[in-house]
Chain A
Amino acid sequence: MIRLYHIVKSYGDRDALRDVSLHVEKGEMIYVTGPSGAGKSTMLKLLYGAERPTSGKMLIGGADVSKMDNRQLPSLRRNMGVVFQDFKLLPHRTVGENVAMALEVIGAPTDSIRRRVPAVLNIVGLRGREEDKAGVLSGGEKQRVAIARAIVNDPAILLADEPTGNLDGAMAVEVMEILQAINLRGTTVVIATHDVGLMDRFPYRRLRFVDGKLVVGGIQPRSKA
């Protein structure tokens, strides 16, 4: 599903990612981990197209996204959900409206939106909360709304950047259980986190970065793709 070959990402003189090669299979759930500044978030930004690699090749679902121009990004992102530590919700809009944004963007018909939004809120445990304003929800509930918005289009890949970073222990576990359930439905899930306790409790393959280098979990391809 995700193939990276010798990816380098530099900001001026500083290399945020250095010669990273990795494979993530379809339906896999993996962690991108490492200390602060190791390159976890940069890795995710490359995957959802917010940044372009300085060099190397990056294939997602068979498409070469390393050379994708801005006009092609919407089609990449429509097949990919993204969840952030700070939720990125519109607080003055309702839960239903926040989730529906992802469907409106692709021009989904109104009756389909009316059907899909409650169904996906049911998956994240927020059934019946469509009319609540997003701004009044707890942190855990906000993250569940963000996850609902990320998966409402049935994306092939779900990227989560420190999804439990702003949550206490019990809520973090709830969110991880939801991500696990989504993965069991066939979605490839990539989680950037440095929470070792959570990774031990939900054990999946770990890609460990240190100073921009992938030190655990990568591949060593014989030649550049």
Chain B
Amino acid sequence: MNGALGRALRGLREHAYLAAVSAGVIAAALVLLGVYGLVVLNLEAVVSGWQQDVHVSAYFVATATAEETAAARSELAGRPEVLKVELVTAEQAAAWMKERMPEVEPMLAELGPTALPASLEITLKDGYTSPAAMDAFAASLQASGRFGEIDYGREWVERASGFLRTLKLLGAVLGTILVLAALFLVGNTIHLVVYARRDELEILRLVGATDGYILAPFVVEGALEGLVASAFALVILEVVHRGVLSRLHDAVPVTFDEGGLQFLPAGPLVALVLVGVMIGVLASWVAVQRFLARLA
């Protein structure tokens, strides 16, 4: 039992309740971080889905002939930023309107078959859906003189992009605050644990233990508590993911990439475990050092 690991295991056994409290506090901090990560990840997926779904509707001028609309369609289909382009004739537009809003049928009959303009429904490729790229694309259409109105939900795209940016910034700030708060909380908890074991530290000092000898098992205990806390936090996150967020998903119909809620990928999961171990080690180190500095 001379080694740091052996002494750490003995410490955990002798002070199981205090160790459980420390691990619990670390786990709570990690769950908060993880839930935030899950929310950000899935909202990013939603916003990114929204951005990809953005279409450009280009309405032809009333004088445009069928040849001109067909020519415009094939010309646009050849442009590198265009993924798909569909022609909606004036008749198709009128039929669509009648189907959804039957009450306007008499008015459409009175105005004739070209009451609504023909249009092109354009889907852009990934990388061409940013507000700036769509502005440039719309301007080029406008410059051709064929179209009366270009509609591409500019405001919506800008809002979605702005929301995503704010979300990421908020994530960074809140993440930092959460890690610091967790360190503070765990630090104070482990400080209480160390205080409860002050007799042991005092005796070790009296019999000639070096600071390194005293610190080592506490650091190992911190790492083990962080590891256990991480595993516990991952289980809770999985439960949260399957339960609460899935229910939310059912209640709020939104579009997700690949059709469902995502769980944290391997990278962030490993990072979460490392953060747990780091919090345990750092908090133990600081608490014991502070205590030893006061001991004779």
Name A's B-contacting residues (CB within 8 A): 45, 48-51, 70-71, 73-78, 82, 88-90, 92-93, 101-102, 104-108, 110, 149, 153
Contact = CB atoms under 8 A, between A and B. Distances in A.
A51 B209 contact: no
B209 to A, nearest CB: 4
Given A74-B208, A74-B210, A107-B2, A101 B296 contact: no
Interface in B1-57: 1-2, 14
A78 B206 contact: no
Contact of B200 (A74, A90, A102): A90
Nearest to A86: B199
Nearest to A104: B2
Contacts of B296: 45, 49-51
A101 B204 contact: yes
Contact of B203 (A45, A49, A92, A101): A101
B91 interface: no
A48 B208 contact: no
A78 B207 CA distance: 6
A159 B47 CA distance: 73
Given A51-B296, A75-B208, A105 B202 contact: no
B199 A105 contact: no
A99 to B, nearest CB: 10
Contacts of A153: 207-208
Interface string B56-75: 00000000000000000000
B207 A101 contact: yes
B200 to A, nearest CB: 6
Contacts of A82: 206
Identify which of B203, B204, B207 gathers the most chain A CB atoms within 10 Å of its CB.
B207
Interface of B: 1-2, 14, 199-200, 202-211, 213, 296
B116 to A, nearest CB: 86
Given A105-B213, A110-B2, A88 B206 contact: yes
A44 B157 CA distance: 78
A102 B206 CA distance: 9
B291 to A, nearest CB: 14
Contacts of B207: 77-78, 101-102, 105, 149, 153
Contacts of A101: 203-204, 207
Contact of B208 (A71, A93, A106): A106
A48 B213 CA distance: 19
Given A45-B296, A50-B296, A74-B209, A88 B202 contact: yes
Given A78-B207, A108-B2, 18 more contacts: A49-B296, A70-B211, A71-B210, A73-B208, A74-B208, A74-B209, A77-B206, A78-B208, A88-B199, A88-B203, A88-B206, A92-B14, A93-B14, A101-B207, A107-B2, A110-B2, A153-B207, A153-B208
A105 B14 contact: no
A93 B203 CA distance: 13
Contacts of A104: 1-2
Contacts of B204: 101, 105
Nearest to B295: A50
Contacts of A105: 204, 207-209, 213
B189 to A, nearest CB: 21
Contacts of B205: 73, 77
Contact of A102 (B202, B208, B210): B208
Contacts of A106: 208
Given A51-B296, A107-B2, A110-B2, A90 B199 contact: yes
B12 to A, nearest CB: 14
A110 B2 CA distance: 8
A52 to B, nearest CB: 10
10 contacts: A71-B210, A73-B208, A77-B206, A88-B199, A89-B203, A90-B199, A93-B14, A105-B209, A106-B208, A149-B207
A77 B296 CA distance: 12
Contacts of A90: 199-200, 203
Nearest to A92: B14
A45 B206 CA distance: 11
Nearest to A105: B209
A48 B210 contact: no
